[in-house]
């Protein structure tokens, strides 16, 4: 498998390669140069990308997504378009795929794999993909977290023993809990790039620990129950099974992300089974699903060797892109149809839980305990043992509380944080002045304020019910300024999550609405 990592791609070239240059042939990541003892730093990522672009100026173009909290650039490479600007990308008419990695600074496998993919493309491998795909590659997203290298930042992880970054950004925020409130500059930059380039597919590369398993990589589609059904079916029934089969032919075991509660001796409050993570939109790939796009999460396995993890990411991304290339037109059509489908009047999710699942065969594994060469702390090393156990696999979520989506929401002009959030996400809304009209108002019976801050916010949970308020007969005109937010728009599914008072991941849950504004009545109204 070492050859695979050095090659940068694991499949034969499907077209004649571009003339090889010494620059590309000798270009290695820091992981490769150090025999997988160390991981690539920010300045090295920039130099690597610059070298690729200089060697292949016609096919690889560089841009910047934005800057981190500490002022570092977040680089982006564009392949398959004549230039890196969003207008040039859109004019290709191709299926756009965003691949980003290192959202958690200590999870470095995807960063190395993304650089290898870029080198592979610059060499001319997969040249045929350019007929249908435009690839947007951001190898190092949490740049500040990546640079905070420590030997103990990822306890038990099997390398790189030269150290890895911290999980959070410079302000201590977990960037993969930030896609609704978007407090971090990195999140705002990435959402801005998503708005500009409008990718049809979003791939987020991570590393996981947890349950002792026999998979080198686990994955998940967008998990929010309101992901458009056709996109959910495409990911679950077609794309991910094809990737699993393709990776299997290349010697890698992959399946749905999960853990077994109680596997490490902690109290288990649910029956033994394989449980996925969380359906809320605060996570990148769930957020992509609510934007009517295919969100794909990859989690290489922390206890496999660093080299094996990078190879697993290379193979996973390669297989996903090969599938998207073969089905590019259908994926574009599915996203376009989802954008046109109105959510008005449909049943939408405000809270969700695990859905009932059939039993599945899960591949479990064992580990050896090694010692870090410098700190002597324990490291867990994946063994090749495979133990098969049949158990319920909870890899889907279903609504536990729903609402009927209205025609529109009316957000008072003075709810500045809510209005700013709508703008950041690209939600269409118009400032309007309204007076007597039929509307729905949420009666607040009680409020539960979070006991402590989470990710810099103290949220709320409201209890009560929507009530219809008729237009009063003979009511004198009383003008009030509202931002009218129609649900009949491409981001209508996201709108419901953001603005419903009982949403477990919206403006109320994240404390974007002042506590004093929810006494008695929720300030946001609905147009039935």
Instruction: Express as a percent the part of the chain with pLDDT over 90.
Output: 88
Q: CA 62, CA 94: separation in Å to the nearest integer? A: 18
The mean pLDDT value of the chain amounts to: 93
Q: Where are the domains of the chain?
A: 2-342+349-397, 404-527
pLDDT value at 203 more than 50: yes
Helices of type H across 124-253: 143-147, 185-197, 229-233, 240-249
Q: CA 211, CA 263: separation in Å to the nearest integer? A: 6
Strand-strand pairing, 460-469 and 439-449: antiparallel
Query: Which pLDDT band holds residue 480 (cuts at 50, 70, 90)?
Result: confident
Q: Which two structure tokens, joined as six digits, stand for 180?
A: 């609704």
Q: CA 181, CA 418: separation in Å to the nearest integer? A: 9
Query: Which candidate, 164, 188, 159, 196, places its Cα nearest to that of 81?
Result: 196
Cα–Cα distance list, 278 to 212, 251, 398 (Å): 20, 29, 11
Query: Which pLDDT band holds residue 388 (cuts at 50, 70, 90)?
Result: very high
Q: CA 138, CA 142: separation in Å to the nearest integer? A: 10
What pLDDT is attached to residue 356? 84
Is residue 208 within 8 A of residue 257, CB to CB? The reply is yes
Query: Which pLDDT band holds residue 4 (cuts at 50, 70, 90)?
Result: very low
Q: CA 154, CA 82: separation in Å to the nearest integer? A: 40
pLDDT value at 12 more than 80: no
Is residue 9 within 8 A of residue 318, CB to CB? The reply is yes
Q: CA 199, CA 204: separation in Å to the nearest integer? A: 13
Count other C-beta atoms under 10 Å from residue 423's C-beta. Answer: 11
Is residue 363 within 8 A of residue 253, CB to CB? The reply is yes
What pLDDT is attached to residue 20? 45
Query: What is the tens place of the pLDDT at every residue in 207-239?
Result: 999 899 999 999 999 999 999 999 999 999 999
What pLDDT is attached to residue 424? 98
Sign (positive or negative) of CA dihedral 428, 431, 433, 435? positive
Query: Which pLDDT band holds residue 10 (cuts at 50, 70, 90)?
Result: very low
Q: Which two structure tokens, joined as six digits, stand for 194?
A: 């998503």
Question: Helix count (H) and strand count (E) of the chain?
Answer: 15, 21
pLDDT value at 476 more than 60: no
SS3 breakdown of the chain: % helix, strand, coil, rounded to 5?
A: 30, 25, 45
Report cis status (omega within 30 of 0) of the bond before 121.
no
CATH 3.40.50.300 fits 2-342+349-397, yes or no: no
Query: What is the tens place of the pLDDT at every residue in 155-188?
Result: 999 999 999 999 999 999 999 999 999 999 999 9
What pLDDT is attached to residue 21? 52
Give the H or E element holding residue 416.
helix 416-425
Query: What is the tens place of the pLDDT at every residue in 403-438?
Result: 999 999 999 999 999 999 999 999 999 998 877 678
Query: Which candidate, 493, 461, 363, 346, places its Cα nearest to that of 405?
Result: 346
Q: What is the mean pLDDT of residues 478-499?
A: 93
Query: What is the tens place of the pLDDT at every residue in 113-155?
Result: 999 999 999 999 999 999 999 999 999 999 999 999 999 999 9
Q: What is the mean pLDDT of residues 294-300?
A: 98
Query: What is the tens place of the pLDDT at every residue in 446-461?
Result: 999 999 999 999 999 9
Is residue 108 within 8 A of residue 115, CB to CB? The reply is no
Q: What is the mean pLDDT of residues 321-348?
A: 98
Cβ burial, residue 246 (10 Å; 0-12/13-18/19+): buried
pLDDT value at 1 more than 50: no
Query: Which pLDDT band holds residue 13 (cuts at 50, 70, 90)?
Result: very low
Quote the pTM value: 0.95
Cα–Cα distance list, 426 to 188, 291, 295, 503, 504 (Å): 11, 10, 18, 19, 21
């Amino acid at each position: 498998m070492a050859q695979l990592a050095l090659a940068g791609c694991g499949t034969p070239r499907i077209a004649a390669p571009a003339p090889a240059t010494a620059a590309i042939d000798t270009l290695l990541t820091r992981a490769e140069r150090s025999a997988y003892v160390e991981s690539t730093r920010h300045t090295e990522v920039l130099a690597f990308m610059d070298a690729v672009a200089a060697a292949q100026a016609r096919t690889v173009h560089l841009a910047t997504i934005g800057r981190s909290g500490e002022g570092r650039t977040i680089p982006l490479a564009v392949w398959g378009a004549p230039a890196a600007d969003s207008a040039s990308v859109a004019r290709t008419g191709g299926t756009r795929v965003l691949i980003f990695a290192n959202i958690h600074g200590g999870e470095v496998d995807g960063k190395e794999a993304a650089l290898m993919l870029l080198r592979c493309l610059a060499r001319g491998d997969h040249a045929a993909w350019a007929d249908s795909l435009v690839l947007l590659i951001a190898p190092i997203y949490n740049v500040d977290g990546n640079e905070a290298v420590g030997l103990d930042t990822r306890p038990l992880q099997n390398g790189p023993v030269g150290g890895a970054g911290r999980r959070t950004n410079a302000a201590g925020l977990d960037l993969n809990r930030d896609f609704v409130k978007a407090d971090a500059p990195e999140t705002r930059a990435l959402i801005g790039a998503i708005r500009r380039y409008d990718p049809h597919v979003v791939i987020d590369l991570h590393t996981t620990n947890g349950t002792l398993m026999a998979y080198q990589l686990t994955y998940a589609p967008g998990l929010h129950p309101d992901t458009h059904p056709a996109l959910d079916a495409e990911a679950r029934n077609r794309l991910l099974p094809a990737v699993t089969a393709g990776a299997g032919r290349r010697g890698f075991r992959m399946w749905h992300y999960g853990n077994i509660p109680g596997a490490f001796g902690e109290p288990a409050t649910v029956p033994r089974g394989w449980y996925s993570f969380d359906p809320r939109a605060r996570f990148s790939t769930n957020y992509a699903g609510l934007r009517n796009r295919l969100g794909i999460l990859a989690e290489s396995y922390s206890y496999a060797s660093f080299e094996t993890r990078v190879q697993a990411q290379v193979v996973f991304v390669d297989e996903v892109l090969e599938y998207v290339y073969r089905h590019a037109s259908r994926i574009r059509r599915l996203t376009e149809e989802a954008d046109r489908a109105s959510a008005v009047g449909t049943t939408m999710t405000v809270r969700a839980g695990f859905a009932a699942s059939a039993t599945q065969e899960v591949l479990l594994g064992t580990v050896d305990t090694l010692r870090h060469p410098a700190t002597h702390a324990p490291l867990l090393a994946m063994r090749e043992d495979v133990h098969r156990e049949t158990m319920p696999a909870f890899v889907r979520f279903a609504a536990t509380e729903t609402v009927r989506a209205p025609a529109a929401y009316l957000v008072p002009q003075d709810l500045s944080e809510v209005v700013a959030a709508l703008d950041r996400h690209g939600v269409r809304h118009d400032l309007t002045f309204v007076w007597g009209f039929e509307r729905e108002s949420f009666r607040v019976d009680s409020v539960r304020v979070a006991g402590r801050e989470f990710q810099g916010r103290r949220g709320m949970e409201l209890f009560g019910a929507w009530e219809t308020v008729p237009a009063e007969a003979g009511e004198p005109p009383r003008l009030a300024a509202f931002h009218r937010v129609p649900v009949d728009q491409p981001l209508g599914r996201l709108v419901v999550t953001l603005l419903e008072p009982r949403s477990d991941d919206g403006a109320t849950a994240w404390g974007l609405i002042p506590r004093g504004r929810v006494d008695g009545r929720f300030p946001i109204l609905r147009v039935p």
